[in-house]
């Protein structure tokens, strides 16, 4: 028994305090905003490597300081609001994207839990949990929050009184709505197996090593979830929202400076969220490999992130009608059949 | 009365409740009052998000999340898809024949609704017919009630949705085989050329 500065009694199983949750929230915000910047650098380098180019090379060693240069550019750029746009909605839209992306991250396990060492003044001994807000229905909450994220691009496109923006917004609505169905249905099969919506239960269910990973029992659901995840995070075969060859930049056409940057941060945060869900639900969770579990979950998340870049380098865009065909005539029926088969197997 | 209010405002639940209430009512007022489609739509969606907050305060996490997924993610998004057909940046002109009639009818409906929902609270304290079980998740509790007591309404609702879905497919699917974007006559010409060869 020991007492932290916040006055809470800490037993053997550390108690989650308000201070710990706030620290966690700050860590998530800081690290992931920075990761979004670093992610662009990695993306450009990986794409360059796959296309036999050099990528950014001029700013700093191997172009590493390109992140700083891009950041300075984004922060100092003029924030232009078009004359005929609905100014309030135009200003709010990027905040919705960034906010929903980070709220979604509050219910998934990000980084291992740890206790701040005693020798640090003020905050020493505070237990920082792995999941900022451990909901019973965490999985549904994350999916719901990502669904709410569609208002960012939607309102952005509709408020800017720009043809490309409107087309981008319409594409947002059809793409996100359609693929939400696939995401939900594909993840329903593992939920039925585990019998819970909590990430902790998913982690515990797969505690028996690689053999007990859900990917072996639900390979179809895994692939469906990945495909739908690409569509929901607006990644390249499915980035119709801002397909630069067709609609300039879609919903983001009129945005500049930090407002555009917020869309960007939101997109990268969503990519990381999808990677975390895929790792925890299908690839064994965060302490599957014992003491080094936190390292392996990072590697799994990094792999999914890399996979998104890899796919971008390898595959062309698809047409909107192909996107709808894929969703409603291929992926959704497969997801339904998968659920029925899973239910039959559970019953028998 | 006022002391009770002040005391409840001090607790986390009370503060959250009043915050969400004020924000929800404010946002829904914007939905009703505003002449701009975008403002109305945005405030309605934001109000829907805040309503899920009430479920979270009551400990009904599952229903709160369902509120988020269904109303914010699906229904509001469909509304907004319909909004694509309007010019969102221009104010709309409402065609009210008489403001007084609208005011009286709206006010009466609101009054009746308030009375309906307030009556049981006033007469006796509300009892939970299906209290939550300890150690059982929210989703399981909802499922148990839904598949025992309310099985028939549940199935009827499912059937009605199926009927609506088939009707929707029938209405929209008449010309599904024709492409709206491609010029069909161009295809015919190609076919004719093929035939001639």
Separation of alpha carbons A137 and A121, rounded Å:
36
The mean pLDDT of A291-307, rounded to a whole number, is: 80
pLDDT at residue A271 tops 70: yes
H helices of chain A, in order, are: 18-50, 66-76, 87-105, 138-148, 151-159, 163-194, 199-205, 214-217, 219-232, 244-247, 257-282, 293-314, 320-325, 332-347
Task: Name which of B74, B77, B138 is nearest A137 (Cβ-Cβ).
Answer: B138
Q: How confident is the model at residue B89 (pLDDT cuts 50, 70, 90)?
A: low
The encoded tokens of residue A228 equal: 């739908």
pLDDT at residue A77 tops 50: yes
Mean pLDDT of chain A, nearest integer: 80
Asked whether the beta carbons of residue B38 and residue A173 sit closer than 8 angstroms, the reply is no
The 10 Å Cβ neighbour count of residue A6 is 14
Asked whether the beta carbons of residue A86 and residue B80 sit closer than 8 angstroms, the reply is no
Q: How confident is the model at residue A2 (pLDDT cuts 50, 70, 90)?
A: very low
* pLDDT for the residue numbered A7: 37
* pLDDT for the residue numbered B161: 92
* pLDDT for the residue numbered B159: 94
Separation of alpha carbons B193 and B186, rounded Å:
11
Separation of alpha carbons A197 and B64, rounded Å:
14
pLDDT digits (tens, 9 = 90+) for B139-192: 777 888 888 888 899 899 999 999 998 998 888 777 666 666 665 555 565 556
The residue in chain A having the minimum alpha-carbon distance to the alpha carbon of residue B44 is A151
Backbone angles phi, psi at B91, to 5 degrees: -75, 145
Torsion of CA A202, A204, A207, A210, to 10 degrees: 0
Q: How confident is the model at residue A10 (pLDDT cuts 50, 70, 90)?
A: very low
Task: Name which of B66, B81, B89 is nearest A86 (Cβ-Cβ).
Answer: B89
Separation of alpha carbons A251 and A169, rounded Å:
6
Instruction: Please tell me which residue, A339 or B197, carries the higher pLDDT value.
Output: A339
pLDDT digits (tens, 9 = 90+) for B14-48: 888 888 889 999 999 888 888 888 888 888 888 88
pLDDT digits (tens, 9 = 90+) for A201-254: 787 777 777 777 778 888 888 999 999 888 888 887 887 777 777 777 778 888
Q: How confident is the model at residue A11 (pLDDT cuts 50, 70, 90)?
A: very low
- Interface residue A108 vs chain B (CB under 8 A): no
Name, of A15-19, A204-208, B101-105, the range with top average pLDDT. B101-105
The residue in chain B having the minimum alpha-carbon distance to the alpha carbon of residue A177 is B74
* pLDDT for the residue numbered B100: 83
pLDDT digits (tens, 9 = 90+) for A83-123: 877 888 888 888 888 888 888 888 887 766 666 666 666 66
* pLDDT for the residue numbered B26: 92
- Interface residue B62 vs chain A (CB under 8 A): yes
Asked whether the beta carbons of residue B39 and residue A88 sit closer than 8 angstroms, the reply is yes
CB neighbour list of residue A191: distance below 8 Å, 6 or more residues apart: A139, A197
CB neighbour list of residue A102: distance below 8 Å, 6 or more residues apart: A28, A29, A32, A269
Asked whether the beta carbons of residue B42 and residue A151 sit closer than 8 angstroms, the reply is yes
Across the A:B interface, residue pairs with CB atoms under 8 Å apart total 92
Residues of chain A contacting residue B73, judged by C-beta atoms under 8 Å apart: 144, 147-148, 150, 177, 180
* pLDDT for the residue numbered A3: 38
Print the SS3 string covering A193-233. Answer: HHCCCCHHHHHHHCCCCHHHCHHHHCHHHHHHHHHHHHHHC
Per-residue DSSP letters for A97-117? HHHHHHHHHTTS--S--EE--
Torsion A79-A83-A85-A89 (CA) sign: positive
- Interface residue A155 vs chain B (CB under 8 A): yes
The residue in chain A having the minimum alpha-carbon distance to the alpha carbon of residue B49 is A148
The residue in chain B having the minimum alpha-carbon distance to the alpha carbon of residue A96 is B46
In chain A, where the domains are located: 2-347
The 10 Å Cβ neighbour count of residue B8 is 13
State the helix-helix crossing angle for A18-50 and A293-314, rounded to 10 degrees. 40
pLDDT digits (tens, 9 = 90+) for B106-140: 889 989 988 887 776 665 666 667 776 766 667 77
* pLDDT for the residue numbered A1: 34
* pLDDT for the residue numbered A258: 83
Of A48-57, A311-320, B68-77, the range with the lowest mean pLDDT is B68-77
The mean pLDDT of A149-166, rounded to a whole number, is: 84
Instruction: Please tell me which residue, A190 or A9, carries the higher pLDDT value.
Output: A190
Asked whether the beta carbons of residue B68 and residue A88 sit closer than 8 angstroms, the reply is no
Q: Tokens 């229904």 sit at which residue?
A: B75
Q: How confident is the model at residue A337 (pLDDT cuts 50, 70, 90)?
A: very high
């Amino acid at each position: 028994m020991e007492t932290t500065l916040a006055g809470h009694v800490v037993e053997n199983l550390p108690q989650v305090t308000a201070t710990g949750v706030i620290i966690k929230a700050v860590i998530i915000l800081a690290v992931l905003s920075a990761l979004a910047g670093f992610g662009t650098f990695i993306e450009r380098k990986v794409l360059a490597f796959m296309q036999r180019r050099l990528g950014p090379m001029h700013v700093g060693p191997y172009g590493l300081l390109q992140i700083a240069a891009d950041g300075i550019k984004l922060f100092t750029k003029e924030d232009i609001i078009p004359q005929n746009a609905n100014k309030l909605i135009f200003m709010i839209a990027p905040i919705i994207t960034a906010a929903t992306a980070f709220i979604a991250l509050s219910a998934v396990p990000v980084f291992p839990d740890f206790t701040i060492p005693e020798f640090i003044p003020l905050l020493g001994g505070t237990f920082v949990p792995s999941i900022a807000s451990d909901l019973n229905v965490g999985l549904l909450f994350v999916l719901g929050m990502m669904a709410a994220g569609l208002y960012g691009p939607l309102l952005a496109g509709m408020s800017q009184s720009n043809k490309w923006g409107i087309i981008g917004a319409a594409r947002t609505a059809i793409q996100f709505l359609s693929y939400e169905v696939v995401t939900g249905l594909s993840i329903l099969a593992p939920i039925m197996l585990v019998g819970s919506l909590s990430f902790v239960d998913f982690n515990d269910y797969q505690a028996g090593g690689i053999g007990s990973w859900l990917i072996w029992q639900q390979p179809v659901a895994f692939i469906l979830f990945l495909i739908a995840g690409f569509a929901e995070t607006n990644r390249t075969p499915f980035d119709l929202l801002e397909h630069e060859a067709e609609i300039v930049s879609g919903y983001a056409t009129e945005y500049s400076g930090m407002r555009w940057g917020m869309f960007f941060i939101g997109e990268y945060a969503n990519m990381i969220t999808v990677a975390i869900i895929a790792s925890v639900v299908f690839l064994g969770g965060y302490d599957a490999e014992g003491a080094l579990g936190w390292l392996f979950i990072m590697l799994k998340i990094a792999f999914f992130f890399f996979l998104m870049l890899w796919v971008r380098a390898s595959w062309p865009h698809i047409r909107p009608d192909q996107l709808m065909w894929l969703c409603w005539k291929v992926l959704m029926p497969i997801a339904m059949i998968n659920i029925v088969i899973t239910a039959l197997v559970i019953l028998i | 009365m006022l002391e009770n209010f002040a005391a409840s405002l001090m607790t986390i639940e009370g503060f959250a409740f009043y915050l969400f209430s004020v924000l929800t009512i404010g946002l829904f007022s914007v939905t009703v009052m505003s002449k701009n489609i975008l403002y109305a739509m945005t405030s309605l969606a934001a109000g829907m998000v805040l309503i899920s907050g009430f479920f979270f305060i009551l400990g009904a996490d599952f229903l709160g999340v369902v509120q988020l997924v269904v109303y914010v993610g699906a229904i509001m998004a469909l509304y907004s898809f319909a909004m694509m057909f309007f010019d969102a940046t221009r104010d709309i002109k409402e065609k009210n024949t008489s403001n007084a009639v609208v005011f009286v009818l709206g006010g009466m409906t609101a009054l009746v609704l308030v009375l309906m929902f307030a009556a049981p609270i006033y007469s006796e304290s509300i009892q939970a017919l299906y209290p939550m079980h300890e150690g059982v998740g929210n989703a399981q509790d909802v499922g148990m009630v839904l598949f025992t007591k309310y099985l028939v309404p549940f199935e009827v609702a499912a059937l009605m949705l199926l009927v609506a879905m088939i009707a929707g497919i029938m209405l929209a699917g008449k010309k599904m085989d024709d492409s709206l974007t491609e010029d069909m006559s161009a295809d015919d010409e190609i076919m004719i050329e093929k035939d001639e060869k």
